[in-house]
Amino acid sequence: MQRLPVWADVVLVPILSLLAAFLISALVILGIGGNPVEALQVMVTGALGSAYGWGYTLYYATNFMFTGLAVAVAFRASLFNIGGEGQAMLGGLGVALVCLAVDWPHWALALPAAMLGGAVFGAAWAAIPAWLQAKRGSHIVITTIMFNFIAASVLVYLLVNVLRPPGSMDPATARFPEGAGLPTLHDIPGLGGIFDRNTPANITLFLALACVGLVWLLLFRSRLGYEIRAFGKSEPAAVYAGISPVRITMIAMLISGGLSGLMAVNNVMGEAERLVLNSVEGAGFIGIAVALMGRNHPVGVMFAALLFGFLYQGGAELGLWTTIPLELRTVVQALVILFTGALDTMMRMGVERVFALFARRAA
């Protein structure tokens, strides 16, 4: 089959997939008696029409960038890390422990420590499935899924029995000290006039963007990234080239888990300012869709994360302002995942056929 030009491959195909997903979503909305045009309006104004909406959209997008990058890095090593959810949960634990351990005088001191805590805990949670895969051949998909459940149970236990402040009825940690609070976009000079005080989006957004750049450097400029990609394409070839499968499996999963864990800086430290149950809210799973749609490229992940941030926030508005139930958000997301991920090849083949037709006309 003839290959598509790059722009069609990375821009046209995803956009067509998205349109198809939205079209089907519109039919679903029609089917349950809603008005798809109104729904779209609510979603767009709700997510993008105000600084308030943008604040949430960017906040969610930050989460998805971390988990999307996490999936993408592992996937480049041909490891399907479904455990982003659990790794982000454990990352939250790491962040919370760091934030609660010291009465932090200033966020600039707390942030690096919390990043380290989140990344180390996330990486550690990924390390066990990684080791089982590398040394014992236990399939990473199975083990990482299992570890999501284990992580949830561990958190319930810790929040109920260990970390809950005495007298509290809420399975959550105490509030973090004032000094561990991250600046929101409102606190950033120049943006204060745009975003209001309660906006959840915080400086972790810039950390996420920095991670996009670093992951790009890692994958496409570094020797380690070269080894990760080579191993991901062919394990026997990697062995021929003297690349150790055990080493790459471990390193790729540690980086992946670390990125998932870093997400907690955004949601736990930046937004909730304490660790609650289910703080991850499915962002680990959405990361899979984000990586799929972003084709495991950091820049693609960034854009896909923004899109899913929009869907997440816009969908929430939908539940708030229309008779369309909140669950529809999940339907729309599922359709986007279906079309950009699972049915990507279908769309691609169609586009390839159209291009081949034009090429023949031109010839």
Partner 1 sequence: MVAGAQSGRQTAAPGTDTGAGAAIAPAIELVGISKAFGPVQANRDISMRVMPGTIHGIIGENGAGKSTLMSILYGFYRADAGEVRIGGRPVAIPDSQAAIRAGIGMVFQHFKLVPNFTVLENVVLGAEEGALLRPSLAKARASLRDLAQEYELDVDPDAVVEDLSVGHQQRVEILKALYRQADILILDEPTGVLTPSEADHLFRILRGLKAQGKTVILITHKLREIMEITDTVSVMRRGEMTATVETAGSSPEELAELMVGRKVLLHVPKAPATPGATVLKVEDLRVTDADGVERLKGIDLEIRAGEILGIAGVAGNGQSELLKVLGGFEKATGRVTLNGHPLDLSGDRLAQSRRAAGIAHVPEDRHHLGLILDFAAWENVAFGYHHAPEYQANALLMDNAALIRDTAGKMERFDVRPPIPTLAAKSFSGGNQQKIVLAREIERNPDLLLVGQPTRGVDIGAIEFIHKRIVELRDAGKAVLLVSVELDEILSLSDRIAVMFDGRIMGERLPDRTDERELGLLMAGVAE
CA distance 88 to 92: 6
CA distance 168 to 53: 32
Amino acid at position 191, single letter: L
CA distance 127 to 140: 11
Shortest spacing between CB 173 and partner 1, in angstroms: 37
Under the criterion CB under 8 A, does residue 1 sit at the interface with partner 1? yes
- Identify which of residues 109 and 356 has a Cβ nearer to partner 1 in the complex: 356
> Do the Cβ atoms of 299 and 83 come closer than 8 Å?
no
Under the criterion CB under 8 A, does residue 363 sit at the interface with partner 1? yes
Under the criterion CB under 8 A, does residue 239 sit at the interface with partner 1? yes
Under the criterion CB under 8 A, does residue 6 sit at the interface with partner 1? no
Shortest spacing between CB 6 and partner 1, in angstroms: 12
Under the criterion CB under 8 A, does residue 356 sit at the interface with partner 1? yes
Among 101, 105, 240, 342, binds partner 1 (CB under 8 A): 240
What 8-state DSSP symbol labels residue 176? P
CA distance 37 to 288: 29
| Secondary structure of residue 172 in the 3-state scheme | strand
What 8-state DSSP symbol labels residue 28? H
String of contacts with partner 1 for each residue 214-233, x by CB under 8 A: ---x---xxxx-xx-xx--x
CA distance 167 to 285: 34
- Identify which of residues 226 and 321 has a Cβ nearer to partner 1 in the complex: 226
CA distance 121 to 125: 6
- Identify which of residues 219 and 268 has a Cβ nearer to partner 1 in the complex: 219
Shortest spacing between CB 362 and partner 1, in angstroms: 9
Tell me the site size for partner 1, rule CB under 8 A.
24
Q: Which stretch binds partner 1 (CB under 8 A): 85-93, 117-125, 239-247, 259-267?
A: 239-247
What 8-state DSSP symbol labels residue 195? S
Buried b (16+ CB within 10 A) or exposed e, 302-318: bbbbbbbbbbbbbbbbb
Under the criterion CB under 8 A, does residue 242 sit at the interface with partner 1? yes
Under the criterion CB under 8 A, does residue 360 sit at the interface with partner 1? yes
Binding site for partner 1 (CB under 8 A): 1-2, 217, 221-224, 226-227, 229-230, 233-234, 236-237, 239-242, 244, 356, 359-360, 363
